[in-house]
Copies of this chain bind each other. A is one copy, B any other.
Amino acid sequence: MTSTSTRSRTSPPKPPNAPARLGFAKGTARWQDIIENPEIDLVSITAPNALHKEMSLAAIAAGKHVYCEKPLAPLAQDALEMTLAAEAKGVKTQVGFNYLCNPMLQTAREMIRAGELGEIRGYRGIHCEDYMADANGPFTFRHDPAGGGALADIGSHALATAEFLCGPVTKVMGDCVTMIAERPDGRGSRRAVTVDDVGRAFLRFENGASGSIEGNWIATGRKMQHDFEVYGTKGALAFSQEHFNVLHYFDTTDRKGRQGFRRIEASPDHSPYGLFCVAAGHQIGFNDLKAIEVAGYVNAIAGASPEPFNFRAGLRIQTLVETILTSSREQRWLTVGQAGPRGTA
């Protein structure tokens, strides 16, 4: 589920005239109409998580390209099935991890790959918000035991960023905690919550670094604390999504007495920022991140480039999430499987 829809806690049935009201030429309340329509080449699935699999498989079978909101499916096993189906059919796929589309994150990755930080030693990533901090907030599909929870919902962003920057995670030790044990069920009663409100993990990366992440949806006061620090032998980066047009960079080769984290502002030097603003300081917004994401996908469909974040990449994140949840439950370190949905000790 992308962050755009993260906080719509309830989904009242749409009135029948929704398309007209929202300015669409056409609309339907029967999703199969879209699958069956030969004029449609690309399907975007933003339905509740539980429907992702059925809809995706139908669309793939019909030969359509599929953009699916995260998580790809509540269970990694299902995400794997969807991924294999898409790859067999040869359609292009996309999962919505728009934060990675930030030019400053692209810059961070380029810096790391180019060796500007030297050898990477440590990583600390978080994604903390407070949209579930109110214990009287209702039980929603995000609390569904199958695929719900803070780790899956936003910790997944922290995991995606960690691998985007530092490469594959090989081992994890999870700590997933439920703090609000029940919530209003919308019918005057309360319903038990079993998913995590806070999901933490220790990480080992293939490159030898160690690190940690935290996903927390009851972090009172925090609205978009998708932050990280990465420490290398020659430099370091610090980032906060609260000011996402800025990347902080420490260069150990700066001369004595003049060293310090540089506050680099997004500029046309950080592609594709220049497609949005002609100079530093103007700043792109959340919707521009979405535009970059979708543009990358459209270019991939047009054959110009690989998909920015396809079903296999989405499966990878699901696998990480599921392995961490299992690790937490079993209270032991687990190895992250390369392709499968479940880690092995």
Contacts and interface: CB of A to CB of B under 8 A. Distances in A.
Given A133-B233, A212-B214, A221-B261, 11 more contacts: A3-B282, A7-B278, A121-B197, A122-B219, A179-B209, A222-B229, A222-B236, A224-B282, A242-B281, A243-B243, A261-B262
Stoichiometry, copies per complex: 4
Interface in A255-270: 256-265, 267, 269-270
A256 B218 CA distance: 18
A200 B133 CA distance: 26
B224 A281 contact: yes
Nearest to A232: B220
A330 B344 CA distance: 18
Contact of A231 (B221, B235, B250, B258): B221
Interface of A: 3-8, 107, 117, 121-122, 124, 126, 128-131, 133, 135, 173, 175, 177, 179, 197-198, 200, 202, 208-210, 212, 214, 216, 218-225, 229, 231-236, 238, 241-244, 248-252, 254, 256-265, 267, 269-270, 276-288, 331-333
B265 A223 contact: yes
Contacts of A135: 233
A175 B173 contact: yes
B288 A224 contact: no
Contacts of A262: 254, 258-263
Given A175-B210, A235-B220, A287 B281 contact: no
